[in-house]
Amino acid sequence: MKFTLTAVLLFLAAFGFQQSAAAQVQVTKANRELLDVRFNPVMDLSYMVRKYASSKAELPKDIDGFAEAVGIARQLNTEFGSWLGGGWPTVDAALAKSKNSSEAMQELSQAPETITSRQGKTIRVRDAAVRYAKALNAIEASYLKNVGPQHQALADKTAAYIAKAFQPKEQKCFDYLRNSLGLPDPQSRIPVFLAAETPWPGAFTFWTGNKKGTVVISIESHPGSMLLEALMHEAIHALDLEKAGDGNVLEALRSRLKKAGMGENDVAVVQGAHLLVFIQAGETVRRLIDPSHRHYGDVRGVYQYAALQPLANIALPVWVDYLDNKFSREEAINKIVDGFLKVPKPASP
């Protein structure tokens, strides 16, 4: 499947080192779960609607009024400027606190009337979000009767898999990725909502003004150990939000590239650090949970996207060597920055 540069960036965007190699480990406080895995029917319903609103797939027939709700979601995609960003994090934050669509309507009636996007555009959020919550309310009963029980059973099965395959090694995995990337010890559990089906790319971290990330993971998009990598990947995004200063490798890479003259919208600045997220998440699962695991970036072709392959060819071997203790974190960052600066910029379309 071919992807345009714009599609690649939409997919991948969500989102001084004197320490020596990755083997130096600070241990997370013991005996506490770090991920709070949940299933919320209204969140599941919303992401199901948004999946079909962002595609041309045939709509399911077992939810009365589903087409109308999808139509409203498509309107919001236009009004928010994207099927991912814009006002959607405001909607998600309200749904995360709500047990049903009625509570979501109440929450969203208190949302800001407008927000300002990263590009400086004013987006009218409240009225659109309440309109969407009303659309969910209209189909919620049919969903709960005809689809919700199957989705709940799938989520229960997935949560059981996570409990068996991941939770016994959860603390070790977090210690490893945090110390590799210079990220903080989580001060609270990271909420993770399982959803049966979601829009592409299938894993999301959203946040509002409190800089605390909340994760949504598609079950259908992440079979087997791919699900565990998605958990690690999105957890890194959540922790990245909490520590933007000294020690954060992802922030340092972005900062050094900009200081070297790259612009905010250069692919290396936008996606260079994100490639490290892919690599670190994949290596964490491969090294600590399942030696046969293959990176999402490899299986799904992210490392081979035309716009990213030159960067991946640099970052992947360097970061793996760093994790193998072949050189220090500072040396790894220097090698990646020097390599990225030598990559020719993609030609304008």
The verdict on 15 and 88 lying in the same domain is no
Whether residues 268 and 316 fall in one domain: yes
Give the pLDDT of residue 135: 98
pLDDT of residue 21: 34
Nearest to 303 by CA among 324, 275, 282: 275
**Overall size of the chain counted in residues:** 349
- In a domain? residue 86: yes
Answer yes or no: are the C-beta atoms of 192 and 38 closer than 8 Å: yes
Whole-model pTM?
Answer: 0.88
User: Pick from 221, 223, 202, 203: which is nearest to 213 by CA?
Assistant: 203
Same domain, 12 and 98: no
Per-residue pLDDT 10s for the chain (349 aa) are: 333 333 444 444 443 222 223 333 333 444 468 999 999 999 999 999 999 999 999 999 999 999 999 999 999 999 999 888 889 999 999 999 999 999 999 999 999 999 988 778 899 999 999 999 999 999 999 999 999 999 999 999 999 999 999 999 999 999 999 999 999 888 789 999 999 999 999 999 998 666 789 999 999 999 999 999 999 999 999 998 876 567 899 999 999 999 999 998 899 999 999 999 999 999 999 999 999 999 999 999 999 999 999 999 999 999 999 999 999 999 999 999 999 999 987 654 4
Q: End of a domain among 127, 146, 165?
A: 146
| 18 & 65 share domain | no
Q: What's the pLDDT at 17? A: 24
| pLDDT number for residue 158 | 98
Same-domain pairing of 326 and 271: yes
The answer to whether residue 264 sits within a structural domain is: yes
Q: Are residues 82 and 142 in the same domain?
A: yes
According to the model, what pLDDT value does residue 243 have? 67
What are the residues facing 36 on neighbouring strands? 191
Residue 210, domain member (yes or no): no
Last residue of a domain, one of 146, 166, 190: 146
* 73 and 132 together in one domain: yes
- Exposed (0-12), middle (13-18) or buried (19+): which is 118, by Cβ within 10 Å? exposed
175: buried, middle or exposed (CB in 10 Å: 19+, 13-18, 0-12)?
middle
- 67 in the same domain as 13: no
Structural domain containing residue 82: 61-146
Structural domains of the chain, count: 2
Domain assignment present for 218: no
Q: Determine, yes or no, domain membership for 336.
A: yes
pLDDT of amino acid 120: 84
CA 233 to chain centre: 7
Question: Quick one: which of 6, 321, 30, 208 has its CA closest to 339?
Answer: 321
pLDDT at 140: 98
CA atoms lying within 13 Å on the CB side of residue 193? 26
In a domain, 248, yes or no: yes
The 3-class SS string of the chain reads CCCCHHHHHHHHCCCCCCCCCCCCCCCCCCCCCCEEEECCHHHHHHHHHHHHHCCCCCCCCCCCCHHHHHHHHHHHHHHHCCCCCCCHHHHHHHHHCCCCHHHHHHHHCCCCCEEECCCCCEEECHHHHHHHHHHHHHHHHHHHHHCHHHHHHHHHHHHHHHHHHCHHHHHHHHHHHHHHHCCCCCCCCEEEEEECCCCCCCEEEECCCCCCCEEEEECCCCCCHHHHHHHHHHHHHHHHHHCCCCCCHHHHHHHHHHHCCCCCCCHHHHHHHHHHHHHHHHHHHHHHCCCCCCCHHHHCCHHHCCCCHHHHHHHHHHHHHHHCCCCCHHHHHHHHHHHHHHCCCCCCC
Q: 66 with 142, same domain?
A: yes
How far is it, in rounded angstroms, from Cα 8 to Cα 312? 14
Query: Between the CA of residue 75 and those of 6, 20, 86, 129, 251, what are the distances in Å?
Result: 21, 51, 13, 11, 35
Structural domain includes residue 274: yes
Which of 95, 123, 146 lies at the terminal end of a domain, its last residue?
A: 146
Q: Is 260 within the bounds of a domain?
A: yes
If asked whether residues 9 and 68 sit together in one domain, one would say: no
